[in-house]
Amino acid sequence: MAAFKRSGKKEVPEVGTSSDIVFMFLFFFMVTTQMRQNEVKVHVTLPEASEVVKLERKDLASYINIGPPTKAYQQQYGTDARIQLNDSFKTTKDIRDFIAAERESMSEADRSFMQVAIKADQDVKMGTITDVKQELRRCSALKIMYFARKAQ
Q: How many CB atoms lie within 10 A of CB 85?
A: 20
Question: Torsion over CA of 75, 45, 102 and 95, rounded to 10 degrees?
Answer: -60
Chain-centroid distance, C-alpha 28: 19
Query: Is 137 a residue that touches other proteins (CB under 8 A)?
Result: yes
In angstroms, give the least distance from the CB of 3 to other proteins: 33
Question: Torsion over CA of 60, 67, 147 and 25, rounded to 10 degrees?
Answer: 80
Using the Cα atoms of residue 119, residue 101, residue 112 and residue 56 in order, give the sign of their dihedral: negative
3-class DSSP assignment, residue 26: helix
Site map 21..50 versus other proteins, x via CB under 8 A: -xx-xx--xx-xxxxx----------xxxx
- Name the nearest CA neighbour of 44 among 63, 60, 21, 19: 63
In angstroms, give the least distance from the CB of 53 to other proteins: 6
Candidate list 86, 106, 114, 117; residue touching other proteins; CB under 8 A: 117
Report the residue number, 72 or 142, with the smaller CB distance to other proteins.
Answer: 142
Q: Which stretch binds other proteins (CB under 8 A): 4-12, 68-76, 85-93, 114-122?
A: 114-122
Query: Is 150 a residue that touches other proteins (CB under 8 A)?
Result: yes
Binding site for other proteins (CB under 8 A): 15-16, 18-19, 22-23, 25-26, 29-30, 32-36, 47-55, 58, 61, 117, 120-127, 129-130, 133-134, 136-138, 140, 142-150
